[in-house]
Structure 1
Amino acid sequence: MTILRRLAAAAIVIGLGMTALGLAATADWRLGLIVNFRLQLLFGFMILVAIMIAVGDRRWLVPAVAGLAINAILVGPWFGFGLGTSSGESVTVLHLNLLAANRDTAAVVELLHETDADIAFLAEATASWRRRLRLVEIPFDVVATPGDVRFGIIALSRIPVETRVLGVSTFQLPTPLLSFDLDGEPITVMSFHTTSPVNTRRDAARDEQLMALSDLVSSVDGHGVLIGDLNATPWTPGMSLIEDAGYQNSLRSSGLQPSWPAGLGPFMIPIDHAFHSEGLEVIDRRTVASSGSDHLGVEIELAVKR
């Protein structure tokens, strides 16, 4: 029991340190990475509280409960379940980060044949991926490609859409916007892949892109959906900009659905997102097979609120 108590006490100190550092996520890109693990900290403190109760250590129980409470306050709102029940016309959108180095074309093609999605976005589509997908049969029309960039987003659709590709942020990243009517009302579905924040420069680029996305969704007429790999969790400070612009993160309806790194179970974090305007409701949201990628795909069904 003494060894267990000491190990648990050390874990409490580390957990409280990570919790505190995460609150200063805007100060340094490394602190921004720590904030991604709020969910793991929450469950970790649950275990530590149980251990301290079991060994009867009230001295360490208090800080363990404090760590649990802080992370529960931050994570709790994302456990809400509020899926819609509309019986009207709906649209289903699929997003998958292909992973540039992924060679499993067959698995991606299988996913595209099995999905019920009306629209699909494939991120990290390199020239190699674009070439391979041209050589196979898929049940979608290719409605947008990223042009000459090293890798970008391919947009696919089974339904008639009007397509635009805009350069978004100071980086002018090609961003597909697909417009059509849903249940008699205009809707635009768009996809984006932000820069991974693995150093100071790239962290600043990711944050600038999140700000640009908030401007983009604010400019959309009618209903809108933004889906993609945003390289940020719900607790990343810049993510609030998109919700401040009037788009709700669909995880608030479905509950947390970690998507990366695929296959690591309790260590996965939710960085693939789908936001929607207030006039839409989430009928279903789920993660789907990684198809050889390091990300799970995200599939979401939405309808107009009635």
Structure 2
Amino acid sequence: MRQPKNKERALAAVLLLPALLLLIPTYTFTLTLFQSFLFQAMLVYGLLSIFWIIKHHYRLAGINFSIYLLLLIKINSPIGLGYQITQGKEQMTVLQFNVLATNEAYESTIDRVIQLSPDFVSFQEVSAEWATELKKGLAIDYPFSKVVSNDDASQGIAVFSKHPLIDTEIVEWAGTTNIIGKVKMHEEEINFLALHTRSPTTRLKWNTRNEHLNIAKEYISEKKGEFLVLGDFNTVPWDNRLKNFKSTTDLQDSRKKLTPTFPAWNPYLAQIPIDYIFHSKGIGCRSLDSVKITSDHLAIMGTYELRGM
């Protein structure tokens, strides 16, 4: 009897070690990368708990299921039900899409955006070619725009709107290009910030991304009025730095569920959520869904209700 019990204890220890690394706060570069795949790890622990039940190893099943529940809580805790506005009838739709600089499906992308017909669109990875094609293809449907090319094609960025854009500016934060301004929806002027943080594939880029988020949250915290903040944030909802960004700015994530966006070619279970539309509490999110267009990212499109004047 002792040998099987010792094997169970050894297996339990092997399973607990990665679980601890998955559950502790994401304050380091290595942990942030490791915990990007929390959702996939949660599924593995869930399947293992079923496997151990079938094998009649109930202690191991209990340990795996406990880890599964803890990971489930960590994944879902940053994703709220969304703030709802009970007064005001004005609505707007918003699309967020990283087009991928090397993607050459210009016409089908533009056709799909026109078909979806959002009021306001934010694009990232806008190369010089994308800038030309977007301005030409969306000019009629989206008469208001700001397009910024960059020598680094992955850092090009653009916004297009059916409604007037006011006080639009290009600002450089932590070596990245951002677009700030206001969109006038009916009689209401809504602040917006469109951004694309660096992909944290190295420690230097991770530090740059964190600096970018810090500058952005300071800017948002100092502004008055309602806000939309959208873009490719290159991090997951349970990253402590993104949670701090939300709590400091008092913004809400539009997500009602996981809604992963990258990489688009992977099946749902192998994707992670890194694209966002955040909104202030004077704006209610009715829905947010992912949309397959042409890129290595899925687009996300949200429907919002405005408090009104």
TM-score grouping bracket, smaller chain normalisation: 0.7 to 0.9
Q: Which residue of 2 aligns with 1:39?
A: 39
Q: Which residue of 1 aligns with 2:160?
A: 156
- The one-letter code matched in structure 2 to 1:129 is W
Deviations 1:65-109 (A, max 9, x none): 231132022123356545747561111111110101111112211
Q: How many residues are paired up? A: 294
102-111 or 83-92, which moves further after superposition? 83-92
Within 5 A, what are the aligned runs for 1:90-101? 90-101=91-102
Within 5 A, what are the aligned runs for 1:255-274? 255-264=257-266, 265-274=268-277
Within 5 A, what are the aligned runs for 1:1-306? 16-22=16-22, 23=24, 25-27=26-28, 29-77=29-77, 80-82=80-82, 84=84, 88-136=89-137, 139-151=141-153, 152-171=156-175, 173-182=176-185, 184-244=187-247, 245-251=249-255, 254-264=256-266, 265-291=268-294, 293-305=295-307
- The one-letter code matched in structure 1 to 2:48 is L
Shift of 1:270: 0.4
5+ residue gaps, structure 1, are 1-7
- CA distance, structure 1, for counterparts of residue 277 and residue 218 of structure 2: 16
- CA distance, structure 1, for counterparts of residue 189 and residue 132 of structure 2: 33
- The one-letter code matched in structure 2 to 1:118 is D
Q: Relative to structure 1, is the Cα distance of residues 133 and 207 closer, same or farther in structure 2, using a 3 angstrom cutoff?
A: same
Q: Relative to structure 1, is the Cα distance of residues 119 and 9 closer, same or farther in structure 2, using a 3 angstrom cutoff?
A: farther
65-74 or 180-189, which moves further after superposition? 180-189
- The one-letter code matched in structure 1 to 2:290 is T
Q: Relative to structure 1, is the Cα distance of residues 49 and 9 closer, same or farther in structure 2, using a 3 angstrom cutoff?
A: farther
User: Is the Cα–Cα contact under 8 Å of residues 83 and 252 in structure 2 kept in the other structure?
Assistant: no
Q: Which residue of 1 aligns with 2:5?
A: none
- CA distance, structure 2, for counterparts of residue 179 and residue 137 of structure 1: 19
- CA distance, structure 2, for counterparts of residue 202 and residue 9 of structure 1: 40
- Identical aligned residues as a percent: 22
- The one-letter code matched in structure 1 to 2:72 is A
Shift of 1:226: 0.3
Q: Which residue of 1 aligns with 2:3?
A: none
5+ residue gaps, structure 2, are 1-7
User: Is the Cα–Cα contact under 8 Å of residues 168 and 212 in structure 1 kept in the other structure?
Assistant: no
- CA distance, structure 2, for counterparts of residue 82 and residue 46 of structure 1: 27
- The one-letter code matched in structure 1 to 2:214 is M
- The one-letter code matched in structure 2 to 1:46 is G
User: Is the Cα–Cα contact under 8 Å of residues 168 and 213 in structure 1 kept in the other structure?
Assistant: no
- The one-letter code matched in structure 1 to 2:304 is L
- The one-letter code matched in structure 1 to 2:94 is V
- CA distance, structure 2, for counterparts of residue 287 and residue 104 of structure 1: 19
Runs of 4+ in structure 1 off by over 6 angstroms are 8-14
User: Is the Cα–Cα contact under 8 Å of residues 94 and 299 in structure 1 kept in the other structure?
Assistant: yes
Shift of 1:47: 1.5
- The one-letter code matched in structure 2 to 1:250 is S
- CA distance, structure 2, for counterparts of residue 224 and residue 89 of structure 1: 15
Q: Relative to structure 1, is the Cα distance of residues 199 and 263 closer, same or farther in structure 2, using a 3 angstrom cutoff?
A: same
